[in-house]
Amino acid sequence: MLSRRVIVCLDVEGGRVVKGVQFESLREIGDPAVLASRYELEGADEIVLLNIAAHADGVARLPDIVRRTAERLFIPLTVGGGIGSVEDAGRMLRAGADKISINSASVARPEVITEAAEKFGSQCVVASIDARREQNGWRVYTHGGRNATSLDAASWAARCSQLGAGEILITSIDRDGTRDGFDLELTSAVARVVTVPVIASGGGGGSAHIIEVLSVGGADAALMAGAFHDGTCSIEEVKTAMRKTGLPARVAA
């Protein structure tokens, strides 16, 4: 069995890492390069750096932030937020990213996933999906959770996989920042319809939540931010708990 991954997310705005609840009420955490390096030393398997700045300046500054962060890391770095074309993806990969995450742009023009996968390889392309629970399913939202679409999250995940995405990052907007646990039903619904790895995001607050989503939710990786930033949970604690429950986990270098 392949090792399950513990991923740390760094939401970046104005060159600094921030964290909020349900994509709102942001507070500053620190410098992305410094935090990424620290989390690698603590045993993180990957870092996801997401530009959440809605304005063009945030996208323009991203390659420099990626470069500063990547030069400190040996673990994979995924970069997303404002990537709308193969050219954007190329800039991030040349700056040092190992993977790029595409969200809103793929809803507007799904072909961008295929174009990126054909140019850089599916292993470099992560389809990021933000979803809210509605009635018996989950609706896909874009632009930082502000714009509702007509897409069902599980169906859209399946389409993204067919288009060439090598991974699916599924985020529960309802759970984001709450630390009440991942949305197991949402994660399971996505994992059932794709053959590529699924990363669960939104709601993680501790080791028990990560173990639950990896073992019950069908996720291949769990992404967490706030609990790591605040020190209420450590990566070492998560990895120890995983191994005790039989989930394979990479040992920190």
Distance of CA 15 to the CA centre of its chain: 18
- Decide: 135 and 161 in contact? Cβ < 8 Å: no
Structure tokens at 188: 């399971």
Q: Which residues pair with 223 in a beta bridge?
A: 7, 201
Dihedral of the alpha carbons of 194, 195, 197, 198, in degrees to the nearest 10: 20
Residue among 146, 141, 199 at smallest CA distance from 6: 199
Give the three-state DSSP class for 175: coil
Catalytic residue among 45, 88, 130, 176: 130
- Decide: 33 and 11 in contact? Cβ < 8 Å: no
d(CA 241, CA 99): 28
DSSP-derived pairing of the beta strands 46-51 and 24-30: unpaired
Annotation says 11 is catalytic = yes
Q: How far apart are the first and last CA of the chain?
A: 20
- Decide: 116 and 78 in contact? Cβ < 8 Å: no
Residues labelled as active-site residues: 11, 130
